[in-house]
Amino acid sequence: GAVVSQHPSWVICKSGTSVKIECRSLDFQATTMFWYRQFPKQSLMLMATSNEGSKATYEQGVEKDKFLINHASLTLSTLTVTSAHPEDSSFYICSATRGTGSYEQYFGPGTRLTVT
Amino acid sequence: GQQVMQIPQYQHVQEGEDFTTYCNSSTTLSNIQWYKQRPGGHPVFLIQLVKSGEVKKQKRLTFQFGEAKKNSSLHITATQTTDVGTYFCAGRVTGGGNKLTFGTGTQLKVEL
Q: Where are the beta strands (DSSP E) in B40-104?
A: 44-49, 55-58, 61-65, 71-76, 85-92, 101-102
Which residues of chain A are within 8 Å of residue B100 when distances are taken between CB atoms? 34, 46, 105
Contact A32, A56 (CB under 8 A): no
Contact A65, A59 (CB under 8 A): no
Contact A102, A30 (CB under 8 A): no
> Cβ contact (<8 Å) for A43 and B107?
no
Other Cβ atoms within 10 Å of A22 Cβ, number: 16
Rounded distance between C-alpha atoms, residue A24 and residue A95, angstroms = 9
pLDDT at B94 over 90: no
Rounded average pLDDT over B88-92: 95
**Residue type, position A113, single letter:** L
Span A94-110, pLDDT tens digits: 999 986 666 789 999 99
Span A5-46, pLDDT tens digits: 999 999 999 999 999 999 999 999 988 999 999 988 889 999
Output the pLDDT for position A96. Answer: 94
Of B92, B97, B103, the CB nearest to A43: B103
Beta bridge partners of A22: A7, A78
Contact A115, A85 (CB under 8 A): yes
Q: Residue A56 burial (CB < 10 Å; 0-12/13-18/19+)?
A: buried
Q: Residue B71: CA atoms inside 13 Å, Cβ hemisphere, count?
A: 9
> Cβ contact (<8 Å) for B42 and A107?
yes
Rounded distance between C-alpha atoms, residue B28 and residue B50, angstroms = 12
The 10 Å CB-count burial string (b at 16+, else e) for B7-33 is eeeebeeeeeeebebbbbbeeebebbb
Q: Nearest chain B residue to A93 by CA: give it.
A: B42
Residues of A contacting chain B (CB within 8 angstroms)? 32, 34, 36, 41-46, 49, 60, 93, 95, 97, 103-110
